[in-house]
Amino acid sequence: MSMNPNWPKWIAASVAVYFKAVADAIPLKIIVEGVDERESEKMEVDHVELRINGPYVYENSKDYFRLDVDTNVLFTDLMGGESDNPYNLHTWAGLFQEAAQKPIPVYRYGPDTSGVDDGTFVGCLTPRGRNKDASKLFNFGQISVNDRVRQMAVDTRHWMHLSSE
């Protein structure tokens, strides 16, 4: 057997749902790359953009796979003058970084109505790298002299092990 071709969809959808809940709790608008459109009402306010890379699939032994997934979360803070909190980015990034240090449940999410995407539990993505490289925060600061925009990013690395079905 080989890998399940639905794994990438289920992982992407599950990671998006997981981090959307974090953004909604702040509240902060979230754009999932490749899923959401870059509409001006989302881009012209403080927001977060989520990019999901992977899974990178490795067959460790017959029908037993390691799936590596990397996420990049880019925070954009539109500087609003003296009333704006200059630590908003740090607060947001800290909340996402904390969430990324926990297992991310993967479910059979998707639009397939034939029963393949039935919402059942698949497994958990867990931080990889023994906390050495599992999560990193990058502060880009004000992105240009003319633009009153600050940005920060959180990069996380996860993995899970699955057997083919």
Domain ranges of the chain: 7-163
Query: How would CATH label the architecture of 7-163?
Result: 2-Layer Sandwich (3.30)
The per-residue pLDDT for range 62-84, each reduced to its tens digit, is 989 999 999 999 999 988 755 57
Strand locations in the chain, DSSP E? 29-32, 47-61, 64-78, 104-107, 121-127, 135-142, 149-163
For the stretch 27-38, pLDDT in tens is 999 999 988 877
In terms of Cβ atoms closer than 10 Å to its own Cβ (0-12, 13-18, 19+), residue 26 is middle
Distance CA 165, CA 129 (A): 27
Q: What is the pLDDT of residue 82?
A: 52
